[in-house]
Structure 1
Amino acid sequence: MVLLPLIEGLLEFPIETNQCISPISQLLTALRYYATGSHLDSIADYMGMHSTTAVRIIPKVSRAIASLYSRFVKLPVTEDERSKAMRNFYDIARFPHVIGAIDCTHVKIVSPGGTDAEVFRNRKSYFSINVQGICDANMKFINVVARWPGSSHDATIFNMSNMPTYFEDNRFPNSILLGDSGYPCRNYLLTPLPNPRTEAE
């Protein structure tokens, strides 16, 4: 298991007693919750623990995993990193200067309730968070924005993210992103031509 050694130190209890849940059991409990979305009572029962224990474990493991974000999700900031990213995209489609592909996806959630709950309802009528991701040519995330309600448009999320500022401040010189038609076409964000007529287009 690749993830466990990276977060094990954050999950261990200071003393060994019969009441301690091992780091592997904590991780498996959280992964089962993420994968199934089942009620915590069901997950706790399946994992052989009390539901109040599962309630404490899920946020603890989630924080431990989130602490790894900057280690694995990184934009290509150096010239060498950008050159490698561009070369990888070029090798796929002979498209120059591309360092990432951007899109959003809806992650289903339970209604948060309250007066603002409806802003989380997306155009497909379920509650979600609209998550923006930028991936490299190897389909690894290099940037994620996961804080917008489901009713938010992809272009709004992009415009409110740091990406326009980064590109406009020339942090990524001679670099572009590729996006779908849900994004505005800019000199650093290319979107499909609406009515392509030639093979090159």
Structure 2
Amino acid sequence: MMLSDISSLSSDEDDQEPLRRLPRRIRFICNRENPFDLHDNDFKKRFRLNKTTVMNLLHLIGHTLEPRTHRNKSLDARCQIVITLRFYATGGFLELIGDCMHIHKSNICRVIRRVTCQIAQLSRHHIKMPHNNQELMAIKQGFFNIAGFPWVIGALDCTHVNMPMLNCIETEKDISACDSGYPCKPHLLSPVLNPINASQEAYNTAHIATRNTVERFFGVLKRRFPCLRNGLRLKLDTTVKVIVACGVLHNICKEQDDDIENYFEEIENEEEDNFTFNEPNDNNNVNYSLRNALIATVFAR
């Protein structure tokens, strides 16, 4: 190659514009407020649990939530728990919760799913039936003290959790005093639909007072965690875990004396459905034997 050709090549390269590099993206990381700096009443209004209960929860599951690194102000376990509790306490859109805490919606979604899963796994320790005769007798005595209804170990009812993207689902427990939406069985005592004497009236009065515990429980649960009342815009699997997690937290609060019934002026009972189970005219079969025996002996007038 001749010298003139090399000179020409060099001049052509000089005429070309240099490659431009895109400017480096600058990450803005907002400072997050510490919710534990709030006054105790303000903290409980926002998260529905007091600070002591939250710290006890942190002790139970915090080790499973800690990030691997604390670079870029990653969310620690305590922050993840209060984010999830804030969602339970509002049921609001994830964007709104993220805006309040200066966290992106995608991170909020992941945090809620992760923390909810860990809380729900505590159900084996905090949602359980009695294990021995001593516990069983204590529960029976507790129900009997309400209105003199014997042999009851639990109350059965259902409540609906609104899922805007899916059909409603209902949560219920297999226990032994139920409303008229359930059939009467030897282990499942329903009220008398059309009482005809004083004994049946007395049975119904005691039955209603005894079963009111489960209606009030649903009222307390939805008042403490309004996400169950307002609706859950989550995947079905996560929604089920949220319901279980709220039950776990309710029982933990009972164990910690973290009461919410006195915190709000009134806790309403859960509204009943209008559905009733049609009883046959002849209720002398085995399904009604225990109920008839109770009416004829314990509630005889």
Query: Is 1:85 equivalent to 2:87 in the alignment?
Result: no
In the other structure, the counterpart of 1:74 is 128
Q: How big is the shift at 1:53?
A: 1.2
**Counterpart in the other structure of 2:298:** none
Residue 111 of structure 1: which of 159, 165, 183 is its match?
165
- Partner amino acid for 2:61? I
1:184: how far off? 1.0
In the alignment, which residue of structure 2 is the partner of 1:132?
A: 172
Cα distance change, pair 195–54 in 1 and its aligned pair in 2 (3 A): same
Counterpart for residue 200 of structure 1: 202
Match of 1:182 in 2: 181
Matched, 1:31 2:85: yes
What is the CA deviation profile of residues 25-83 of structure 1, one whole-angstrom value per residue up to 9, with x for unaligned ones?
21121122223222212111111112221121010011011011111000113211211
Give the match's secondary structure for 2:157: strand
Q: Which residue of 1 aligns with 2:73?
A: 19
Q: Which has the larger radius of gyration?
A: 2
Aligned counterpart, 1:141: none
Q: Residue 74 of structure 2 aligns to a residue in which SS? A: coil
Cα displacement string for residues 103-144 of structure 1 (whole angstroms, at most 9, x for unaligned residues): 0000111223xxxxxxx1xxxxxxx221114xxxxxxxxxxx
Aligned match of 1:167: none
- How many residues align? The count is 146
For residue 47 of structure 1, the aligned residue among 94, 101, 124 is 101
State the partner residue of 1:5: 59
**Runs of at least 5 residues in structure 1 that lack an aligned partner in the other structure:** 113-119, 121-127, 134-162, 164-175
1:94 equivalent to 2:148? Answer: yes
Question: Secondary structure at the residue paired with 1:106?
Answer: strand
Bigger relative contact order, structure 1 or 2 (CA pairs below 8 A, ≥6 apart): 2
Q: What CA distance in whole angstroms lies between the structure 2 residues aligned with 1:65 and 1:85?
A: 26
SS in 1 for 2:75: coil
- Give the whole-Å Cα distance in 1 for the aligned partners of 2:109 and 2:145: 47
More strand by share: 1
Identity, % of aligned pairs?
39
The SS at the match of 1:130 is strand
Structure 1 residue identity aligned to 2:191: P
Structure 1 CA distance, aligned partners of 2:164 and 2:85?
18
Q: Which residue of structure 1 aligns with residue 114 of structure 2?
A: 60
User: Which aligned runs of 4 or more in structure 1 are off by greater than 6 angstroms?
Assistant: none
Q: TM-score w.r.t. structure 2 length?
A: 0.46
Residue 17 of structure 1: how far off its partner (Å): 2.8
Shift of 1:20: 1.5
Q: Which amino acid aligns with 2:79?
A: S
Q: Which amino acid aligns with 1:200?
A: A
- The more displaced of 100-109 and 33-42 is 33-42
Structure 2 counterpart of 1:66, one-letter code: A
Shift of 1:23: 1.6
Higher helix share: 2
